[in-house]
């Protein structure tokens, strides 16, 4: 029985590592279109870059203030200045809009921020015995 296996062996006198290096050299990976690098004439190589997933922007929510017949206008202006960082003129304009139309937008925020602002406004209104109501609505 004859042995015809052509694989390199690790017998004394053979260069196993050199044979393996030549085998790997034949398996060199090239670009599929067969482009050549400029200048060296060898196969083109490149870096595979995974596209970064696009970060989805968070949903935004409007904080709405509802009109009532009992909360003083000056208190509403104070709330808009304190919790929504509005200046006196802008706070007065929003307060008048709420008074005339029944509802007005105080600001637009991410869900957590909008919820926090509603809670702060409602807590202050309760502490001062005002029935002021705020809510959020998805934009």
In 55-96, beta strands by DSSP E: 60-66
Right CATH for 67-138 from 3.30.1490.20, 2.40.50.140, 1.25.40.10, 3.30.1390.10: 3.30.1390.10
- Indicate the pLDDT class of residue 132, thresholds 50, 70 and 90: very high
Whether the pLDDT of residue 27 is over 90: the answer is no
Cα separation, 78 vs 60, in Å, equals 24
- Indicate the pLDDT class of residue 8, thresholds 50, 70 and 90: low
User: Phi, psi (5° rounding) for residue 136?
Assistant: -120, 155
With both helix axes pointing from N to C terminus, report the angle between 111-127 and 73-84 in degrees, rounded to the nearest 10: 140
Whether the pLDDT of residue 85 is over 70: the answer is yes
Predicted confidence (pLDDT) per residue in 110-126, tens digit: 999 999 999 999 999 99
Predicted confidence (pLDDT) per residue in 49-67, tens digit: 888 888 999 999 999 999 9
Question: Rounded mean pLDDT of 120-139?
Answer: 98
Residue with tokens 């202050």: 124
pTM above 0.75, yes or no: no
The residue ranges of every structural domain in the chain are 67-138
Predicted confidence (pLDDT) per residue in 65-80, tens digit: 999 999 999 999 999 9
> Looking at residue 50, what is its pLDDT?
85
Cα separation, 11 vs 47, in Å, equals 39
């Amino acid at each position: 029985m004859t042995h015809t296996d052509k694989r390199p062996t690790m017998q004394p006198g053979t260069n196993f590592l050199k044979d393996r290096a030549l085998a790997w050299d034949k398996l060199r990976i090239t670009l599929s279109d067969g482009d050549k690098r400029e200048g060296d004439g060898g196969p083109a190589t490149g870096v595979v870059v995974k596209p970064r997933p696009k970060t989805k922007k968070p949903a935004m929510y409007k904080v709405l203030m509802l009109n009532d017949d009992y909360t003083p206008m000056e208190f509403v202006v104070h709330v808009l200045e304190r919790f929504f960082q509005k200046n006196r003129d802008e706070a007065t304009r929003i307060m008048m809009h709420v008074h005339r139309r029944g509802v007005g937008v105080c600001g637009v925020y991410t869900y957590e921020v909008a919820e926090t602002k509603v809670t702060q406004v409602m807590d202050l209104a309760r502490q001062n015995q005002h029935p002021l109501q705020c809510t959020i609505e998805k934009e």
